[in-house]
């Protein structure tokens, strides 16, 4: 039986990213507050774009996985779209931090390493959630700098894994060909065996 897309680490990361992004946007983009002080106008358009980028990452992983059986080429394309959507989200989080004079943590920063370890452990033990919110497993931190850097860490982990997933699918396509090629080869083999 083929692996469910819900078992993919890339999907699990994207699910957490989506849930936390919705919460982040409600808390700091739509509210416009920074550390409890009004200072930025609520930005519905930005919130919509960020939530849609997070949703696109998640949904394209699911759709790409579903397309694996009939079109490996389409699965690769959709997985690339998922990665591009999360890259767009990375830009939004970096912009959020920069314009508010908050720090973007370096990948070697101890706080980044802490979140990387914690989230990798969570994702590796995440099973089918059903109706359980990932927010109950990984609540969004109360400080916007910490929350945005947590989401940056998650996005970087997801895009790294997506690049490996795409490379593996490309190798599979090189080795096995696509669905149409396999059907054609089966038809040729059938005709050869049956003298047609």
Task: Return the domain boundaries, the chain.
Answer: 5-194
Distance CA 19, CA 17 (A): 6
Q: Can you give the pLDDT at residue 74?
A: 87
Average pLDDT, the chain: 86
Residue reference for tokens 């080429």? 73
Which of the residue ranges 9-23, 55-69, 130-144, 149-163 would you say has the lowest mean pLDDT?
A: 130-144
CB 131 within 8 A of CB 69: no
The more confidently predicted of residues 149 and 175 is 149
109, pLDDT greater than 90: yes
Q: Can you give the pLDDT at residue 45?
A: 94
Distance CA 28, CA 97 (A): 11
What would the pLDDT profile of 135-145 be if each residue is shown by its tens digit?
A: 778 999 999 99
Distance CA 4, CA 15 (A): 14
Q: Can you give the pLDDT at residue 1?
A: 39
DSSP state, residue 140: P
Question: First-to-last CA distance in the chain?
Answer: 34
Please list, in sequence order, all residues whose beta carbon lies within 8 angstroms of the beta carbon of residue 41, skipping any fewer than 6 positions away: 32
Q: In this structure, what token pair is assigned to residue 153? A: 């860490």
40, pLDDT greater than 80: no
What would the pLDDT profile of 42-99 be if each residue is shown by its tens digit?
A: 889 999 999 999 999 999 999 888 777 778 888 899 999 999 999 999 999 999 999 9
């Amino acid at each position: 039986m083929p692996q469910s897309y819900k078992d993919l680490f890339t999907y699990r990361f994207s699910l957490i990213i989506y849930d936390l992004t919705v919460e982040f946007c409600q808390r700091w983009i739509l509210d416009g507050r920074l550390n409890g002080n009004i200072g930025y106008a609520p930005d519905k358009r930005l919130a919509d774009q960020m939530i849609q980028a997070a949703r696109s990452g998640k949904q394209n992983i699911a759709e790409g996985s579903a397309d694996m059986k009939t079109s490996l080429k389409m699965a690769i394309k959709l997985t690339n779209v998922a990665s591009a959507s999360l890259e767009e989200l990375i830009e939004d989080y970096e912009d959020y931090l920069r314009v508010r004079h908050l720090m973007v943590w370096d990948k070697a920063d101890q706080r980044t390493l802490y979140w990387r370890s914690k989230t990798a452990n969570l994702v590796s033990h995440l099973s089918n959630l059903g109706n359980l919110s990932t927010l109950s497993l990984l609540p969004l931190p109360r400080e916007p700098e910490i929350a945005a850097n947590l989401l940056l860490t998650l996005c970087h982990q997801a895009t790294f894994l997506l690049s490996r997933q795409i490379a593996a699918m490309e190798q599979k396509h090189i080795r096995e060909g696509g669905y149409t090629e396999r059907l054609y080869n089966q038809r040729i083999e059938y005709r050869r065996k049956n003298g047609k």
